[in-house]
Structure 1
Amino acid sequence: MTQESSTRPAPQMSPLIRLLIDIGPLLLFFVVDQMSDIFVATGALVIACVISFMASWSMTRKIPVLPTVSLIFVLFFGSLTLLLGDEEFIKIEVSITNALCGAFLLTGLMFGQSFLKTAFGQVLDVDDEGWRKLTFRLGLFLIAIGILNEGVRHITSNEMWVAFRVYGILGLNCLFFFTQIPLIKRHMTEDEDAPAA
């Protein structure tokens, strides 16, 4: 193997393809639920998540940590939903996945580790303090989403919960990350090669 091939950068995925892979399974879940019921939609979600994961891996040759954890939970709770005929399993998956991911991020901070930086450090040039603050906020946000999902699944119908799962949580995620832009900008690291102001 030549030196040039060994130093070749890892394949990159276009933002549009990344977006389709990330939200495609959820949109399919919503559409199938509208056309049939939550059980058929759950089966479609499980299959779509597996296909999306395989597509992501084939394009980047990387196994992302958080999407992998999410896939495992979808497979587990989706299978329970279909095998036992109880839609509460796929509903509670959202609560458990978000709450555990949030707790995981916060636990890492307790031991001086920002797992968010580990996952996205190559995407954002943010200093260590910025990563700590962003990780702390995201950890609390994910736990809050888990708690909110528990409330919604207990007081609404299947159709309302599916709409919340797809559009409500997606909207809250977009709102959260939009509100973090000032924090990210404050903690962006400057190019060391740039001339001093």
Structure 2
Amino acid sequence: MKALLDFIPLIAFFIAARYNGILAAAGALLVATIVVYAIHFVRQKGKFDKQQWVVLLLTIVFCGGTLLLRDDIYLRWKSPIINGIFALTLLVSAAINKPLMQLAMKDVFSLTMSGWKKLTIAWAVFFAIMAVLHYITAFTMSDEAWINFKTYGWIPLMLVFVVAQFLLLKKHLNPALTDKSAK
């Protein structure tokens, strides 16, 4: 349910951008994000994880800046910066021996510390690549190309990355998880 809700701001952005332009898209993205995060806040009993705070605050700052100053440059920076923050955070967590992917996926996979670090670094590299791709589309391509990539161009890349990881890691599925599904 959470993942489906998280697509609502993206859909709002795409529809508004297609029919009413970038400034309308910034407004739609801002309003939809606030509504979706209010729902998350209630469903999560008044709590957000750090990733949710980063996305919410940066969306407010970048969409707000875009609307207040009537300049889409701020909105164009949002995705490269968010992906860059995720990449840097993951790299730091691996460097200090507290790989964040272990916290996120420990119930799914059973890996050694080295495995968790490699997985965390793989995700960091993925987010770094996404930051670069978002930057390239936002600042070197047409508005239409940028909107298309921002709306649905990154989704196939994410799916390929996740499926490839699962195929590589399926032999490391947590035994407790496979025992539950067998029953």
TM-score normalised to structure 2 length: 0.88
Q: How far off its partner does 1:67 sit?
A: 2.4
Q: 2:58 pairs with 73, 76, 91, which one?
A: 73
Residues 65, 119 of structure 1: 8 Å contact kept: no
Residues 79, 134 of structure 2: 8 Å contact kept: yes
Which residue of 1 is the match for residue 80 of structure 2? 95
Aligned ranges for residues 101-180 of structure 1 at < 5 Å? 101-122=86-107, 124-129=108-113, 130-180=115-165
Q: 2:5 pairs with 21, 29, 52, which one?
A: 21
Q: How far off its partner does 1:187 sit?
A: 2.0
Across the aligned residues of Structure 1 and Structure 2, the Cα RMSD in angstroms comes to 1.8
- The aligned amino acid for 1:137 is A
Partner SS state of residue 151, structure 1: helix
Say if 1:152 and 1:170 are closer, same or farther in 2 by CA, change over 3 A: same
- Residues 17-55 of structure 1: CA distance to partner in whole angstroms, max 9, x if unpaired? 223211111011001111101111111101111111111
- Structure 1 runs (4+) deviating above 6 angstroms are none
Q: How far off its partner does 1:176 sit?
A: 1.1
Structure ranking higher in helix proportion: 2
CA distance in 1, matches of 2:175, 2:65: 49
Q: Across the two proteins, how many residue pairs are aligned to each other?
A: 176
- The aligned amino acid for 2:21 is D
Which residue of 2 is the match for residue 52 of structure 1? 36
Say if 1:110 and 1:164 are closer, same or farther in 2 by CA, change over 3 A: same
- Residues 92-147 of structure 1: CA distance to partner in whole angstroms, max 9, x if unpaired? 1100110111111011100001112223434x243244432221101001011111
- The aligned amino acid for 1:46 is L
Quick one: percent identity of the two aligned structures? 26
Q: How far off its partner does 1:169 sit?
A: 1.3
Bigger radius of gyration among the two: 1
Say if 1:134 and 1:141 are closer, same or farther in 2 by CA, change over 3 A: same
Say if 1:60 and 1:128 are closer, same or farther in 2 by CA, change over 3 A: farther
Partner SS state of residue 175, structure 2: coil
Q: How far off its partner does 1:66 sit?
A: 1.4
Q: How far off its partner does 1:183 sit?
A: 2.8
Aligned ranges for residues 1-40 of structure 1 at < 5 Å? 17-40=1-24
Residues 81, 90 of structure 1: 8 Å contact kept: yes
Structure 1 unaligned spans of 5+: 1-16
- The aligned amino acid for 1:100 is I
Structure 2 unaligned spans of 5+: none
TM-score normalised to structure 1 length: 0.82
